[in-house]
Amino acid sequence: MAMAFADVGFPRMAARVLFTVMSAEEPLTAAEIGERLAVSPAAVSGAVRYLTQFGILTREPVPGSRRDRYGMPEDAWYEATVIKMALFGRFTALADEGAAALGGPDSVSGRRMTEMRDFFAFVQQEMSLIGERWHAHREHTVAQPGAAD
């Protein structure tokens, strides 16, 4: 699974760490992740930073220690998508500024930026609707275990 994620552009070490944590029954420390993957603490550190930044992993302090444990949040994929939606909003705003700076729809480059703005605004709106539908679906499947439709 990690290689499949890496093949579509997901950072390779982040993919390996993600699926190591995902396959663990309990949250893992960075040292435990490194042991399972036979990699350095620095490689694990960069990967968990990347994954926590997008909400795919959570960090829990280990009481009485300077270590943290990393686990999967409830509804991790939705949470990661919500964080990405904020990026779409930022891209929309930047493209709007870019379109104005490039002469708006009266120039070829301004039209390209306008198209970018409209695309990201559309994607953000659609992702919000998908998120709502996901929550309704999830509530239905949790209420009726085994129901996958």
Query: How much is the average pLDDT of 20-48?
Result: 94
Pair (55, 91) in one structural domain: no
Neighbours of 35 (CB within 10 A): 13
Per-residue pLDDT tens digits for 1-33: 888 988 888 899 999 999 999 999 999 999 999
Query: How much is the pLDDT for 144?
Result: 64
Pair (102, 41) in one structural domain: no
Is the residue at 148 inside a domain? no
Per-residue pLDDT tens digits for 69-111: 999 988 888 877 777 788 888 899 999 999 999 988 889 999 9
Please give the Cα distance from 92 to 35 (Å, whole number): 42
Pair (94, 138) in one structural domain: yes
Judged against a pLDDT cut of 60, whether residue 149 lies above it is answered with no
Pair (6, 62) in one structural domain: yes
Query: How much is the pLDDT for 147?
Result: 54
Confidence of residue 145 (pLDDT cuts 50, 70, 90): low
Per-residue pLDDT tens digits for 103-133: 888 899 999 999 999 999 998 888 888 888 9
Pair (81, 107) in one structural domain: yes
Query: How much is the pLDDT for 78?
Result: 80
Which ranges of the chain does DSSP label H, i.e. alpha helix? Answer: 2-7, 12-23, 30-37, 41-53, 76-101, 108-143
Spatial contact of 44 and 16, defined as CB atoms under 8 Å apart: no
Question: Which structure tokens are listed for 68?
Answer: 């943290």
Query: How much is the pLDDT for 32?
Result: 95
* Residue 39 DSSP code: -
Number of domains in the chain: 2
Query: How much is the pLDDT for 146?
Result: 59
Pair (23, 64) in one structural domain: yes
Q: Supply the CATH number for residue 135's domain.
A: 1.10.287
Query: How much is the pLDDT for 15?
Result: 94
Pair (44, 84) in one structural domain: no
Q: Supply the CATH number for residue 19's domain.
A: 1.10.10.10
Pair (37, 62) in one structural domain: yes
Phi-psi region of 65 (alpha: psi -120 to 50; beta: other; left: phi over 0): beta
Is the residue at 130 inside a domain? yes
* Residue ranges making up the domain that contains 134: 76-143
Please give the Cα distance from 10 to 17 (Å, whole number): 12
Look at the block and give the residue holding tokens 């085994």: 146
Is the residue at 83 inside a domain? yes
